[in-house]
Amino acid sequence: MPQQDNLIPANIMIADRHFRIKVEPADEETVRHSIRIINDKVMEFKKTFPGKDMQDYVSMVLIWFATEFKAEAASSIDSDSIIEKLSQLEAIIDSELEH
């Protein structure tokens, strides 16, 4: 858990609402990058689905973010599994070449 002494204030805006938060100095750029992604997605959803209210767009972004995170995690697991299987195949080939 971060110590309160190390946190710096940051003014952010998500979907036309301002927030004042405190973040670790090392995390500030990551937070700002995430905010840019969120706001860009809100604008994208506003263009794709006109006539909704801002809370609808923020909800859509949350669903998108959660889905993206899950997809990235699954992709990472798949990559690890493939690497493991390739290592096993390499070991089998190496043992066959030694004989």
Give a yes or no: residue 49 inside a domain: yes
**25 near 8, Cβ under 8 Å?**
yes
Give a yes or no: residue 77 inside a domain: no
Residue with tokens 């301002």: 18
Digit-coded pLDDT (tens) for 46-69 = 999 999 999 999 999 999 988 887
Domain that holds residue 52: 4-72
- At 16 the three-state DSSP class reads coil
DSSP-derived secondary structure letter, 49: S
Give a yes or no: residue 60 inside a domain: yes
CA distances from 62 to 16, 19, 23, 77 (A): 16, 17, 21, 23
Give a yes or no: residue 66 inside a domain: yes
CA distances from 29 to 33, 36, 64, 67, 83 (A): 6, 11, 21, 23, 32
Give a yes or no: residue 38 inside a domain: yes
pLDDT, tens digit only, all 99 positions of the chain: 556 678 999 999 999 899 999 999 999 999 999 999 999 999 999 999 999 999 999 999 999 988 887 766 666 556 666 677 667 766 666 666 666
Number of domain units in the chain: 1
- Flag whether the pTM goes above 0.75: no
